[in-house]
Amino acid sequence: QVQLVESGGGLVQAGGSLRLSCAASRSIFSIYAMGWYRQAPGKQRELVATNTNSGRTNYADSVKGRFGIFRDSAKNTVYLQMNSLKPEDTAVYYCNAIKDGLSSWGQGTQVTVSS
């Protein structure tokens, strides 16, 4: 499995930006897919964005045009750039990696967007 450590969450005003980071314990070249999910209080965990090692990306409709996911292979890190944040983006954000059919999760990082 892959150990993942997220960072970069915090409190931001609506319209602001944050960048989340997810550092992997091994080379991300070998990781088929990495992504970000989020879970708001009382709601199920939902996909935010994913990125495969072939460069294919996928975004939830609610974040298209505002969020961007990208990898830095030299740092074994995947980022989620979040712009034009809205109060409804408030949630715990989790990093996910899929390698050899196994799914690994980070511990999560809180993002709070104030109105």
Pairing of strands 102-105, 33-39: unpaired
| pLDDT lower than 70: segments of the chain | none
What's the chain's Rg over C-alpha atoms? 13
Strand partners of residue 49: 36, 59
Quote the pLDDT of residue 60. Answer: 98
Write down the pLDDT at residue 1: 84
In this structure, the number of other CB atoms found within 10 A of the CB of residue 48 comes to 24
3-state helix, strand, coil in the chain (%, to 5): 10, 55, 35
Strand order across the beta sheet in which 67-72 lies: 4-7, 18-24, 77-82, 67-72
Q: Is 74 exposed, middle or buried (0-12, 13-18, 19+ CB in 10 A)?
A: exposed
pLDDT value at residue 61: 98
- pLDDT for the residue numbered 55: 87
Q: Which amino acid is at 9?
A: G
CA distance 97 to 102: 8
